[in-house]
């Protein structure tokens, strides 16, 4: 019966053929390690965000006078509303954990190198869209952090020469962050995740056109691959299980761990909280922004440019790396640089978390740490190019096949 129906469909739309070639029998490298789980995990979290988000939107009110109370209404009165919101708020955090690991995996194993540049670019665009989505989502509960986070970030626009001031008024729809801002952010926060979903499809298309990279970073032969199903369906499912254990531990036992207490105070345009911190996933970039403070009136603009460049530099990464070998497994210098880079990102995050005028290690202004860490961040890309372009690094022998 089912077979008969499928035959009828397949004659008209080759569904079975697509599932076979792109999913069940899709050839996958047999040596993929667990770092390759994070792509499917990111997709899993995107689906959590879409489902919880749509249901939250059925109770949420995008109006400066009502938004804060409507979120409390979700928390207290709506059946299971607290679960929807905690899943969604912690889902944003989980999304960035997955994406950061996913990106670093690609950087370590050379997954951005030829022929996967377009695949990588779609990834970077998804990352940008994700940051925009999370930023606007965080504004919606209309707490003090929502409001002042939005004020500080939208004010970055005003750093642009000539048009900056007019542009930021245009973004606000008023003379400060206010009701029109909240309303448009809600519309965009609803829309962008679906744009991300579309970008994910393009990302997958680009992946399936060139196939997965692997931990050895070598081009594989037919014999080195195994069908996606059942080997990777089960492995990805196992990853989802492990993820859910950790995720649920936060959602059910410490749901406010990543949320700021100040955000449970309603937005007050007349009063800034004593210490504004962005969500953890923006901290390293926030630290880069603040580290540029030594250029007088140019500081703001250059800070904004540096912050954008810190992410946009990922676009040209595939061309910066000139080594004949993809995977850092066989590249000792690149590997060392990579780990310095990872530690540096944590240092930047810590600097971003602290007040700008904090002092550390007995009296040193933290800004010096921030400047150094910012310099190291960009040096990673410069050095990676230097050691590979000038052939300073001698890669170890690479296997011909698995």
313 makes contact with other proteins (CB under 8 A): no
Dihedral sign, Cα of residue 99, residue 101, residue 107, residue 111: negative
Catalytic residue ranges: 208, 212, 235-236, 279
Least Å distance between CB 284 and ligand HEM? 17
Measured CA to CA in angstroms, residue 394 lies from 317, 332, 387 at distances of 20, 8, 9
By residue count, the chain amounts to 402
Residue nearest to ligand HEM (CB): 53
Helix (H, G, I), strand (E, B) or coil at 116: coil
Binding flag, residue 355, other proteins (CB under 8 A): yes
CA atoms within a 13 Å half-sphere pointing along the CA-CB vector of 304: 15
Nearer to other proteins, 77 or 268 (CB): 268
Of the pair 222, 357, the CB lying nearest other proteins is at: 357
Residue 56 binding partner per list other proteins, ligand HEM, none, with a CB distance cut-off of 5 to 8 Å that depends on partner kind? ligand HEM
Query: Is position 171 an interface residue for other proteins (rule: CB under 8 A)?
Result: yes
When asked if residue 297 is in the footprint of other proteins (CB under 8 A), the reply is yes
Which of other proteins, ligand HEM, none has residue 370 at its interface (CB below 5 to 8 Å by kind)? none
Residues 120, 76: Cα–Cα separation, whole Å = 43
From 53-61, 145-153, 257-265, 319-327, span contacting other proteins (CB under 8 A): 145-153
Q: Pick from 356, 360, 386, 402: which binds other proteins (CB under 8 A)? A: 356
Residues 402, 216 contacting (CB under 8 angstroms): yes
| Geometric angle at alpha carbon 240, from 236 and 244, rounded to 5° | 170
Supply the minimum distance, in Å, between the C-beta of residue 186 and other proteins: 14
Q: What are phi and psi of 29, to 5 degrees?
A: -55, 135
Of 356 and 398, the one with the shorter C-beta distance to other proteins is: 356
Residue among 78, 92, 130, 151 that touches other proteins (CB under 8 A): 151
Binding pattern for the stretch 179-218 against other proteins, x by CB under 8 A and - elsewhere:
-x---x----------------------------------
Confirm or reject binding of residue 5 to other proteins (CB under 8 A).
Answer: no
φ, ψ for residue 61, nearest 5 deg: -125, 115
155 binds, among ligand HEM, other proteins, none (CB under 5 to 8 A by kind): other proteins
What are all long-range contacts of 7-11, with beta carbons under 8 Å and residues at least 24 apart?
none
In 3D space, the residue among 37, 48, 143 whose CA is nearest the CA of residue 91 turns out to be: 48
Would you state the structure tokens that stand for residue 198, as one six-digit string? 């579309």
Smallest separation (angstroms) from ligand HEM to the CB of 312:
20
Contact residue for other proteins among 27, 164, 173, 255 (CB under 8 A): 173
Binding residue (CB under 8 A) for other proteins from 51, 101, 160, 169: 169
Q: Is residue 272 a contact point for other proteins (CB under 8 A)?
A: yes
Cβ-Cβ contacts under 8 Å for 90 (sequence gap 6 or more): 247, 250, 251, 255, 258
Residue 346 touches other proteins, criterion: CB under 8 A: no
Residues 6+ apart with CB under 8 A from 159: 300, 301, 303, 304
Check if the beta carbon of residue 61 is closer than 8 Å to that of residue 248.
Answer: no
Whole-angstrom Cα Rg for the chain: 23
Query: Is residue 79 helix, strand or coil?
Result: coil
Q: Out of 8, 175, 253, 361, name the contact with other proteins by CB under 8 A.
A: 175
Interface positions with ligand HEM (CB under 6 A): 46, 49-50, 53-54, 56-57, 60, 71, 85, 88-89, 92, 95, 130, 133-134, 137-138, 140-141, 189-190, 193, 196, 259
Partner touching 85 among ligand HEM, other proteins, none, CB below 5 to 8 Å by kind: ligand HEM
Shortest distance (Å) from residue 353 CB to ligand HEM: 17
Burial 213-237 (b: 16+ CB within 10 A, else e): bbbbbbebeeebbeebeeebeebbe
Q: Which residues bind other proteins (CB under 8 A)?
A: 148, 151-152, 154-156, 158, 169-176, 178, 180, 184, 269-276, 290, 293, 296-297, 299-300, 355-357
């Amino acid at each position: 019966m089912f077979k008969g129906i499928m035959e009828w469909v397949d004659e008209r739309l080759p569904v079975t053929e697509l599932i076979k070639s792109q999913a069940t029998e899709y050839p996958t490298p047999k040596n993929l390690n667990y770092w390759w789980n994070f792509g499917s995990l990111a997709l899993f979290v995107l689906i959590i965000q879409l489902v919880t988000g749509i249901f939250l939107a059925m109770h949420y009110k995008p109006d400066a006078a009502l938004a804060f109370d409507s979120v409390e209404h979700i928390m207290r009165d709506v059946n299971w509303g607290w679960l929807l919101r905690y899943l969604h708020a912690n889902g944003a955090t989980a999304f960035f954990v997955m994406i950061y690991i996913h990106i670093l995996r690609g950087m370590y194993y050379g997954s951005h190198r030829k022929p996967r540049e377009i695949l990588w670019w779609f990834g970077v665009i998804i990352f940008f869209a994700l940051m925009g989505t999370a930023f606007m989502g965080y504004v919606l509960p209309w707490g003090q952090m929502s409001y002042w986070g939005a004020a500080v970030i939208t004010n970055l626009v005003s750093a642009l020469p000539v048009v900056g001031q007019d542009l930021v008024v245009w973004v606000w729809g008023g003379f400060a962050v206010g009701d029109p801002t909240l309303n448009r952010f809600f519309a965009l926060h609803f829309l962008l995740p679906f744009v991300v979903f579309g970008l994910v499809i393009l990302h997958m298309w680009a992946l399936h056109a060139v196939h997965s990279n692997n931990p050895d970073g070598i081009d594989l032969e037919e014999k080195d691959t195994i069908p996606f199903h059942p080997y990777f369906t089960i492995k990805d499912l196992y990853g989802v299980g492990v993820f859910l254990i950790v995720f649920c531990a936060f959602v059910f036992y410490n749901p406010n761990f990543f949320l700021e207490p100040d955000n449970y105070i309603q937005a007050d345009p007349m009063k800034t909280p004593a210490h504004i911190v962005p969500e953890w996933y923006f901290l390293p970039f926030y630290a880069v922004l603040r580290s540029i403070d030594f250029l007088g009136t140019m500081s703001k603009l250059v800070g904004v440019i540096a912050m954008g460049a810190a992410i946009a530099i990922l676009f040209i990464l595939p061309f910066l790396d000139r080594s004949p070998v993809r995977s850092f497994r066989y590249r000792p210098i690149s590997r060392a640089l990579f780990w310095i880079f990872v530690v540096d990102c944590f240092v930047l995050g810590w600097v971003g978390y602290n007040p700008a005028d904090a002092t550390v290690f007995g009296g040193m202004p933290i800004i010096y740490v921030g400047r150094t860490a910012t310099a190291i961040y960009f040096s990673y890309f410069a050095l990676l190019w230097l050691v590979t372009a000038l052939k300073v690094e001698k890669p170890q022998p690479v296997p011909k096949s698995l």
